[in-house]
Structures are given as structure tokens and as C-alpha cells.
């Protein structure tokens, strides 16, 4: 089967990207040094092709009540048009179908951005639920929209240079909010722990916008640095840190689940019935080596597993997210099985780094 391509595929190749099969998409993993790309985003600006992610618009009368039931976070937190919310979408048993960002545009239009690998499954689930509870709604995805994330302390200024008219529209845009600009959609969101924008743009216009950003000095960043940036920022990756086999309360996402209000939502009963026995913590490796996903973590309170691990270019140490027994405490030293050795790691509160600085 041939790999799917984003509208920027030729641009990546022209920039010397090393391309990999990423869940069926032909995507850039790095253009040169992945560590240099990482530092570009923490210290200046970088751009990511995230066109493989899918935009889904839900429109019609009664979108809000539908999403109130569909999503684990509460869309009633969204009152200002353009405001965004991070949420999980759960199965009845509390397992995570996907994590997503939902934008409130108006009472008849909410926009959702879902992960690439789960998009078809997500849309099928949304349609199945809508057929039951809100058959009047239209649910339409937009694979014709490209998406470019521009991130870093200088990212917004670079976008303003590259897109005439965008500064007036977005200088006052609050974090986690979005605004439409013609056929584009500009959101002050991201997956790096840095300021910046995620810009949805028609596929045909994407290569010119990408090239203009490059001219303004924005470095292209591959999936490799995208992963170390999000890990340092303590942001979960679907399929690694959580999936359908675990619930958000065991995945460091309790803050995104509203169990206090009267509101019912899919998965709530399952979450209420069983307090979580495990939790997600940060690890910093004390010994020399590199933490990786699926390595076993040994603690006096029982065993756990690393869900995401890598080398942190900001801290110059190996860091990880790990799912461990609830009784494990911040500051504990645990043992991680790496090949034939047991290496010591400290349990820490994450994020590890944001806004250009290490936090550990």
C-alpha cells in the first residue's frame, strides 16, 4: 500500500528531510540534527507539518448538548467564540478513543481536531453517537485542509511577517483560542510547550505559506523533535501514554475530566465506579542511558511501565512518562530495567521543560 502524502511532501523532500512511514503517512522525521531542531523551537521558532491530523466540523442545532455528552471534558467551559478545550473522547468502559481539541465557534458550529491514526475511528464513533442522540447534526471532516504548526518564542512574530493582515487579527488572541482569517483558521495552540500558532490552510495554499515561513527564518521541524518537545512539555501522546485499554485518570489526564458536575457523559459511570490504582508520573534517569517506552519500572509498591521515554535536549538527561502504582511518590527513586541492567531514576512532577526553560 502506498503511503499517504500531505500537500507539503515535495517541500520536505526539497529541504532534505529524512522521510518515514508514520501510521501510513510519508512524514519528515528530521531534516538535519533533531536536537538542533528541538532547540530552534525552544529558543526561536520552528514549523511542523501536521496536515495528517484531521479537522472535523460538527454543525447544526444542539451541538453543545451533544458534545457535553460525547466528551469527557465539559464544553460548557467554552463561552467565548474561538475558545478551545482539550478533551478525551471515551468508550463506555472509560478507555480513551482519542484525545482532541475542540473549538467553540458558535452555537451551531464546533470544530474538532483529532489525531491522524485515529481519525476514521473517531468520526465513525461520533456519527454513531449522533445517530442515537442528535441525528439533526452534520459531522464533516476536512482532509482538504492542511495544518502547519509554528512554535517557539518568535513564532507568532514570524507568522505575522509571513501572513499580511494576520497581526491585527491575532495579536490580541488569548492562548488556547482561534480566529478565522478568510479560508484560514489560526489557533494559538500547539504541542511543544512554547507559544505559537497552529494554522489550518487550504491544501493548495500550504506550500507557499511554508516557503514564506522558511524565508522568514522559521526552521522546519520533523516528527523526532516534535516528540521530544511534547515529552518535555509533559503532553500525552495517544497510542503511547494512553489508548482504549486505559482511562484518563490513570493517564495524567484527571484535570481534563469533569466528574464533579451533574453532567453525564460517555464513560463517566465507568470512571466513577472504580478509583484508579495507577497514575502517570515523570522520571528522570539518574544513571547513564536512555529511557524508552515499554521498559519496566520497579518500585517497592509494585511494578510499572514507561509509556514514553527519550533524551531531553533541554535538560541533557533522559526523561520519561511512566504508569506506576498510585502509592509511588514524587522524589522516590525507582529502578528501570534497561537491557540486562537496572538503572536508577527519580520520580518527578512534570512538565520537564516549557517556555524555553528546564523545570526540573
Partner 1 sequence: MSIPGDLKYTASHEWIKTETDGTITVGITQHAQELLGDMVFVESPKVGRKLKAKEECAVVESVKAAADIYAPVSGQVTGANSDMDSSPESINTDPYGSWIFKMKPDNPADVAALMDANAYQALVDSESH
Rounded distance, CA 32 to CA 16, Å? 8
Spatial neighbors of 337 by CB under 8 A, at least 6 apart, are 295, 296, 297, 298
Q: Which positions from 327 to 356 touch partner 1 by CB under 8 A, shown as an x/- string?
A: ------------x-----------------
User: CB of residue 28 vs partner 1: minimum separation in angstroms?
Assistant: 12
d(CA 112, CA 129): 15
Asked if 2 is part of the footprint of partner 1 (rule: CB under 8 A), the reply reads no
4 pairs with which residues across the strands? 25
Looking at the Cβ atoms of 193 and 248, the one nearer to partner 1 is 193
Shortest CB 346 distance to partner 1, Å: 18
Q: Which stretch binds partner 1 (CB under 8 A): 25-33, 246-254, 297-305, 324-332?
A: 25-33
DSSP H/E element including 139: strand 138-141
Q: Which of 48, 160, 311, 350 binds partner 1 (CB under 8 A)?
A: 311
292 counts as binding partner 1 under rule CB under 8 A = yes
In sequence order, which residues have a C-beta less than 8 Å from that of residue 12 and are 6 or more positions away? 19, 27, 28, 31, 49, 220
**Pattern 312-331, binding to partner 1, x per CB under 8 A?**
-x----x-------------
Residue 224 touching partner 1 (CB under 8 A): yes
Region binding partner 1 by CB under 8 A among candidate stretches 112-120, 150-158, 311-319, 350-358: 311-319
Residues found in the chain: 360
- Give the number of residues in contact with partner 1, rule: CB under 8 A: 17
How large is the angle between the packed helices 155-162 and 206-215, nearest 10 degrees?
120
Least spacing, CB of residue 35 vs partner 1, in Å: 5
Q: In the bound complex, what is the minimum distance in angstroms from residue 306's beta carbon to partner 1?
A: 13
16 binds partner 1 (CB under 8 A): no
For the CA atoms of 101, 246, 120, 258, what is the dihedral angle to 10 degrees?
Answer: -30
Burial of 149 (0-12, 13-18, 19+ CB in 10 A): buried
Strands (DSSP E) along 248-349, which ranges? 278-285, 296-299, 302-312, 317-325, 333-338, 341-348
Question: In angstroms, what is the minimal distance from the CB of 176 to partner 1?
Answer: 29
Contacts to partner 1 by CB under 8 A: 18, 29-30, 33-35, 224, 228, 288-290, 292, 310-311, 313, 318, 339
Amino acid at each position: 500500500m502506498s503511503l499517504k502524502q500531505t500537500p507539503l511532501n515535495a517541500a520536505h523532500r526539497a529541504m532534505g528531510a529524512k522521510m518515514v512511514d508514520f501510521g501510513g503517512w510519508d512524514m519528515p522525521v528530521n531534516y538535519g540534527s533533531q536536537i538542533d531542531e528541538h532547540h530552534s523551537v525552544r529558543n526561536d521558532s520552528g514549523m511542523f507539518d501536521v496536515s495528517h491530523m484531521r479537522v472535523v466540523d460538527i454543525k447544526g442545532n444542539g451541538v453543545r448538548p451533544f458534545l457535553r455528552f460525547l466528551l469527557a471534558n465539559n464544553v460548557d467551559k467554552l463561552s467565548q467564540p474561538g475558545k478551545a478545550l482539550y478533551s478525551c473522547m471515551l468508550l463506555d468502559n472509560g478507555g480513551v478513543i482519542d484525545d482532541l481539541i475542540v473549538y467553540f465557534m458558535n452555537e451551531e458550529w464546533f470544530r474538532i481536531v483529532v489525531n491522524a491514526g485515529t481519525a476514521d475511528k473517531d468520526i465513525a464513533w461520533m456519527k454513531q453517537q449522533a445517530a442515537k442522540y442528535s441525528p439533526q447534526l452534520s459531522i464533516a471532516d476536512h482532509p482538504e485542509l492542511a495544518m502547519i504548526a509554528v512554535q517557539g518564542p518568535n513564532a507568532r512574530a514570524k507568522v505575522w511577517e509571513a501572513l499580511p493582515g494576520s497581526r491585527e487579527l491575532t495579536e490580541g488572541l488569548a492562548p488556547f483560542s482561534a480566529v478565522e482569517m478568510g479560508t484560514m483558521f489560526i489557533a494559538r495552540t500547539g504541542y511543544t510547550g512554547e507559544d505559537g500558532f497552529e494554522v489550518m490552510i487550504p491544501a493548495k495554499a500550504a506550500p507557499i505559506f511554508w516557503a514564506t515561513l522558511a524565508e522568514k527564518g522559521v526552521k522546519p521541524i520533523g516528527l523526532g523533535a516534535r516528540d521530544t518537545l511534547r515529552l518535555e512539555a509533559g503532553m500525552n501522546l495517544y497510542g503511547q501514554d494512553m489508548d482504549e485499554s486505559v482511562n484518563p485518570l490513570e493517564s495524567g489526564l484527571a484535570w481534563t475530566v469533569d466528574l464533579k458536575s451533574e453532567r453525564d457523559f460517555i464513560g463517566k459511570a465507568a470512571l466513577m465506579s472504580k478509583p484508579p490504582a495507577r497514575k502517570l508520573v515523570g522520571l528522570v534517569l539518574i544513571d547513564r542511558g536512555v529511557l524508552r517506552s515499554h521498559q519496566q519500572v520497579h518500585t517497592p509498591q509494585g511494578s510499572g511501565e514507561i509509556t514514553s521515554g527519550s533524551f531531553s535536549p533541554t535538560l541533557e538527561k533522559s526523561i520519561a512518562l511512566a504508569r506506576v502504582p498510585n502509592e509511588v511518590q514524587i522524589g522516590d527513586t525507582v529502578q528501570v530495567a534497561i537491557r540486562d541492567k537496572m538503572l536508577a531514576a527519580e520520580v518527578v512532577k512534570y512538565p520537564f521543560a516549557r517556555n524555553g526553560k528546564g523545570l526540573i
